[in-house]
């Protein structure tokens, strides 16, 4: 038996007990006649004591040879600590060691295995197995486990069945690039790793499973950032014989359950907002509604005044920064520089201070009088003491730029509180998006999304106006889940493929298996997929999903720990009938 107790378990009630512990040496303090060592495992830390009066010469020699991260086993007696440590649960006791065995020595680790480490991200990624020993990473993985367990509990109680779907599938166009896998037994042919189990969960509905879920890996070969990984995890769900309202109710319930069980937070209302309103009020389709600063469109009151920049703009729009009238000219200039950065792309920013005495002072006083600026304040909801910031230009770009400014200001003002949760349903998305480069429409979600009832005919006359029977669940400015009511009729699906530019032959080659299934009694169905990584990060109060993944990739999609991806040898290439042309 390597241990009778773990390193976070011993208390004063265990005094005089004979125990066996195993773990890693956290630190060693050698005072000559006495040696203390902190022994760590997943559960906590226990202090060990060796002294010349009560420990043998052999044990003292071993204790003095211990280094950081040595793996050891000790036996001894639990005694009261003379100098107690209130910062750890085991801080009132220590173990007087009577036997010690070094199970494995360790090199000096490349960074300290402590909560506040001296290791940068690159070195910690390379030695991720050491990083996992640190409490912040370990606790994040345990937290993720707790969330996953609660998801399974809730969905199982709601009658959902967990079904696994294949990882080696057929390449189908779903918006991002596929990762492809060559087949040795089928020369010149390739599998693809699934971007999502979309078609399989629809086939499960055709198969009569009625309520399906799966916590599943998905794969997309796309550019990466802090909140994106080439392999990520979804809570994938589908239901038969449902309408949009049924799905929203079920997954509001799941979100409430997680917030209550994981965070102790009770949420009553999940507001709903149309996509059009979200874009108009917040400039993006996943607005953070924990704070205000809604957009105020100023075209009717800011144009036709001799200010050419506004007159030539498709959209003039502003927000009011609480307390911003107190900003110095230097602070305002810094905001102007911030929106001009290439990442934001604005050409400049107009501002107006709403002074405490009710007067206004703006950067365009030459063109707008006090009455005009009062109308700006009314449109943006500004109060005395606020600063009105105004951007103008192309509608979509300007909204995106002002949205970025809104989020930056909220971060600076401390309005994005990690212990406050504000869920929101965004509904009525456009069914199709126009690709400005090609002039062709593509599906905003995926090609199996159903249009809103009664709007199918608009596909022929005004495709951009068709609304999707789709919905996203937003939490604190992040999309944590999205889904739709699916098309379950072969004729409607054929119509959708045609409008997306698929010939009948291409549609059959790509999705013939699904179209065939629809001929055998497909029920009305729909579903939703949560991004587990993002959901866990938000519940954990952090921004980066990488912190909640055991072995993540870096921003280049590389696993620097195992050095992947990597070349394969010539024999493997030959077996796979592949030739490199680099």
pLDDT tens for each residue of 316-365 = 999 999 999 999 999 999 999 999 999 999 999 999 999 999 999 999 99
Confidence of residue 175 (pLDDT cuts 50, 70, 90): low
CA distance linking residue 338 with residue 162, whole number of Å: 47
370: pLDDT strictly greater than 90: yes
456: pLDDT strictly greater than 90: no
Q: Is 569 annotated as a binding residue?
A: no
**pTM of the full predicted structure?**
0.91
CA distance linking residue 530 with residue 286, whole number of Å: 14
97: pLDDT strictly greater than 80: yes
Sequence ranges of the domains in the chain: 12-104, 143-165+194-272+423-545, 291-413
Q: Is 531 annotated as a binding residue?
A: yes
Q: Is 479 annotated as a binding residue?
A: yes
Residue 409 is predicted with a pLDDT of: 97
Confidence of residue 145 (pLDDT cuts 50, 70, 90): very high
Residue 443 is predicted with a pLDDT of: 82
Q: Is 229 annotated as a binding residue?
A: yes
In 10 A of CB 274, how many CB atoms? Answer: 15
Confidence of residue 464 (pLDDT cuts 50, 70, 90): confident
pLDDT tens for each residue of 372-417 = 999 999 999 999 999 999 999 999 999 999 999 999 999 999 999 9
User: E strands of 286-358, at which residues?
Assistant: 296-297, 315-321, 350-354
Q: Is 53 annotated as a binding residue?
A: no
Confidence of residue 137 (pLDDT cuts 50, 70, 90): very high
Q: Is 532 annotated as a binding residue?
A: yes
Of 90-99, 113-122, 219-228, 411-420, least confident by mean pLDDT is 219-228
H/E stretch holding 406: helix 395-412
Q: What is the mean pLDDT of residues 136-162?
A: 98
Q: Is 133 annotated as a binding residue?
A: no
Q: What is the mean pLDDT of residues 205-234?
A: 91
CA distance linking residue 425 with residue 122, whole number of Å: 37
460: pLDDT strictly greater than 90: no
Confidence of residue 499 (pLDDT cuts 50, 70, 90): confident
Of 230-234, 473-477, 497-501, least confident by mean pLDDT is 497-501
Q: What is the mean pLDDT of residues 300-311?
A: 93
Confidence of residue 226 (pLDDT cuts 50, 70, 90): low
Q: What is the mean pLDDT of residues 175-180?
A: 86
Confidence of residue 536 (pLDDT cuts 50, 70, 90): very high
Return the HEC string of 151-212: HHHHHHHCCCEECCCCCCECCCCCCCECCEEECCCCCCCEEECCCCCHHHHHHHHHCCCCEE
62: pLDDT strictly greater than 70: yes
Q: Is 222 annotated as a binding residue?
A: yes
Q: Does domain 143-165+194-272+423-545 have CATH number 3.30.930.10?
A: yes
Of 109-118, 145-154, 167-176, least confident by mean pLDDT is 167-176
CA distance linking residue 208 with residue 526, whole number of Å: 13
Q: Which residues pair with 361 in a beta bridge?
A: 353
Please state which of the four CATH numbers 3.90.1580.10, 1.10.150.170, 3.40.980.10, 2.40.50.140 is assigned to the domain occupying 12-104: 2.40.50.140
Residue 174 is predicted with a pLDDT of: 60
Q: For residues 502 and 541, which has the higher predicted lDDT (pLDDT)? A: 541
139: pLDDT strictly greater than 90: yes
272-274 and 423-427 as β-strands: parallel, antiparallel, unpaired?
A: parallel
Name the CATH architecture for the domain at 291-413. Answer: 2-Layer Sandwich (3.30)
Q: For residues 460 and 347, which has the higher predicted lDDT (pLDDT)? A: 347
Percent of the chain surpassing pLDDT 90: 85
Q: Is 489 annotated as a binding residue?
A: no
458: pLDDT strictly greater than 80: yes
Q: For residues 281 and 442, which has the higher predicted lDDT (pLDDT)? A: 281
- Alpha-carbon distance values, 499 to 34, 248, 461 (Å): 80, 28, 11
Residue 525 is predicted with a pLDDT of: 97
Q: Is 272 annotated as a binding residue?
A: no
Residue 173 is predicted with a pLDDT of: 66
DSSP character at residue 226: T
Q: What is the mean pLDDT of residues 255-267?
A: 96
């Amino acid at each position: 038996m390597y241990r009778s107790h773990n390193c976070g378990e011993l208390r004063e009630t265990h005094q005089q007990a004979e125990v066996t512990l195993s773990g890693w040496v956290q630190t060693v303090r050698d005072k000559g006649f006495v040696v203390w060592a902190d022994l760590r495992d997943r559960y906590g830390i226990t202090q060990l004591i060796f002294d010349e009066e009560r420990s043998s010469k052999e044990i003292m020699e071993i204790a003095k040879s211990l280094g950081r991260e040595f793996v050891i086993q000790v036996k001894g007696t639990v005694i009261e600590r003379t100098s107690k440590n209130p910062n750890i649960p085991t801080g009132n006791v220590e173990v007087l060691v009577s036997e010690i065995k070094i199970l494995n020595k360790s090199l000096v680790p490349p960074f300290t295995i402590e909560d506040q480490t001296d290791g940068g991200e690159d070195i910690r990624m390379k030695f991720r197995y050491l990083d996992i020993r640190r409490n912040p990473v370990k606790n994040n993985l345990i937290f993720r486990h707790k969330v996953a367990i609660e998801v399974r509990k809730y969905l199982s109680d709601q009658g959902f069945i967990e079904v696994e779907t294949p990882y080696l599938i057929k390449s189908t166009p779903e918006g991002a690039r596929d990762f492809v896998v060559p087949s040795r037994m089928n020369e010149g042919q390739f599998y693809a790793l699934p971007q999502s189990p979309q078609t399989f969960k629809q086939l499960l509905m055709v198969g009569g499973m009625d309520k399906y879920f799966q916590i599943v890996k998905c794969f997309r070969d796309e550019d990466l950032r802090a909140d994106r990984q080439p392999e990520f995890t979804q809570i994938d769900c589908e239901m038969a014989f449902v309408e949009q309202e049924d799905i929203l109710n079920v997954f509001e319930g799941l979100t409430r359950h997680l917030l209550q069980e994981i965070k102790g937070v009770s949420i009553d209302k999940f507001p709903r907002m149309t996509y059009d309103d979200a874009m108009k009020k917040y400039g993006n389709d996943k607005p953070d509604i924990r704070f205000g600063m809604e957009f105020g469109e100023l075209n009717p009151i800011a144009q036709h005044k001799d200010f050419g920049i506004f007159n030539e703009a498709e959209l003039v729009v502003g927000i009011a920064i609480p307390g911003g009238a107190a900003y110095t000219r230097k602070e305002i200039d810094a905001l102007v520089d911030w929106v001009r950065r290439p990442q934001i792309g604005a050409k400049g920013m107009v501002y107006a201070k709403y002074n405490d005495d009710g007067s206004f002072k703006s950067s365009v006083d030459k063109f707008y009088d006090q009455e005009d600026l009062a109308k700006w304040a009314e449109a943006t909801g500004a109060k005395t003491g606020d600063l009105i910031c105004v951007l103008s230009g192309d509608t979509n770009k300007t909204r995106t730029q002002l949205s970025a400014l809104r989020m930056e200001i909220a971060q600076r003002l401390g309005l994005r509180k990690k212990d406050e949760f504000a869920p929101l349903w965004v509904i009525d998305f456009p069914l199709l998006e126009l690709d400005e480069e090609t002039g062709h429409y593509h599906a905003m979600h995926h090609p199996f999304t159903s249009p809103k009832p009664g709007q199918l005919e608009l596909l022929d006359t005004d495709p951009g106006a068709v609304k999707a029977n789709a919905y996203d669940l937003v939490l604190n400015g992040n999309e944590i889940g999205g889904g739709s009511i699916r098309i379950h009729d072969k004729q409607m699906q054929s119509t959708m493929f045609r409008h997306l530019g698929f010939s009948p032959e291409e549609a059959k080659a790509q999705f013939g298996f699904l179209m065939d299934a629809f001929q055998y009694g497909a029920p009305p169905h729909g579903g939703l997929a949560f991004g587990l990584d993002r959901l866990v990060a938000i519940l954990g109060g952090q921004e980066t999903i990488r912190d909640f993944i055991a072995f993540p990739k870096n921003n280049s999609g590389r696993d620097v720990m195992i050095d992947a991806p990597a070349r394969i040898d010539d024999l493997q290439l030959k077996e796979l009938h592949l030739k490199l042309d680099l």
